[in-house]
Amino acid sequence: MKMLQAMMLFVATLVMAQANAAETMTDAQTEKLRERIKPVAEVCVQGDDCGGPVVAASTGPRTGDAIYAASCAGCHSIGVAGAPKKGDTAAWDKRLAKGFDKTLANAISGLNAMPAKGLCMDCSDDELTSAIKFMAGRK
Ligand code: HEC
């Protein structure tokens, strides 16, 4: 409790010191400060001519390789809790015997210790498909 009070006092002192510093700035200093923060303060909205090409937010679907490395390898590389291992075609053959769609559906909704979407919540069905094909050795 003492520690918390001391910290709050410290923060309050900092804030007051900052406020004092701002008050004692000359007009020239204020102008300089405005100049310095300007690029950050300016917002470029899509459709505006902001002097450069608009960078697309999405770069298209990620590869199965990339999805596997980022989200699935944690369990599927060494077979955590019975997860079929990457490249273990025999294990994957058994999984896929029920049909690819059913296997994909299990990956999407989760199956026992397999979490829904392998915890890749922003993965599209296509990206999960690529990751499964990559792990199962079916490009
Ligand atoms: C937390 C560990 C874990 C992660 C992360 C994980 N999996 Fe799994 N996965 C498992 C386990 C365990 C099983 C076996 C489940 C069972 O049959 O009981 C499994 C099974 C599967 C199966 C077979 C489903 C079936 O119908 O037999 C697929 C497909 C699959 N995972 C895809 C993925 C994909 C794609 C990712 C990454 C996006 C992923 N997994 C990430 C643990 C994981």
75 CA → ligand 1 middle, Å = 8
Hey, whose CA ends up nearest to atom 38 of ligand 1?
118
Higher per-residue confidence, 87 vs 55: 87
Q: What is the pLDDT of residue 107?
A: 98
Testing ligand 1's pocket by substitution, the residue of 76, 106, 120 carrying the most ligand atoms inside 8 A of its CB is 76
Ligand 1 lining (C-beta closer than 6 Å): 67, 71-72, 74-76, 80-84, 95, 103, 106-107, 111-115, 118-120, 123, 128, 131-132
Mean pLDDT computed over every residue of the chain: 85
From CA 91, how far away is CA 85, in angstroms rounded?
7
**Burial class of residue 61, CB neighbours in 10 A (0-12, 13-18, 19+):** middle
pLDDT, tens only, 57-115: 557 899 999 999 999 999 999 999 999 999 999 999 999 999 999 999 999 999 999 99
Long-range pairs of 86-91 with CB within 8 A, sequence gap ≥ 24? 86/134, 86/135, 87/135, 87/137, 89/136, 89/137
Task: Assign 7 a pLDDT band (cuts: 50, 70, 90).
Answer: confident
pLDDT, tens only, 10-53: 887 777 776 666 567 778 877 877 777 665 556 666 666 666 55
- Which residue from 83, 120, 71, 129 is spatially nearest to 102, judged by alpha carbons? 129
From CA 29, how far away is CA 34, in angstroms rounded?
9
Hey, whose CA ends up nearest to atom 6 of ligand 1?
118
Using an 8 Å Cβ cutoff, are 137 and 84 in contact?
no
Q: Encode 113-137: b = buried (16+ Cβ within 10 Å), e = exposed.
A: ebeebbebeebeeebbbbbbbbbbe
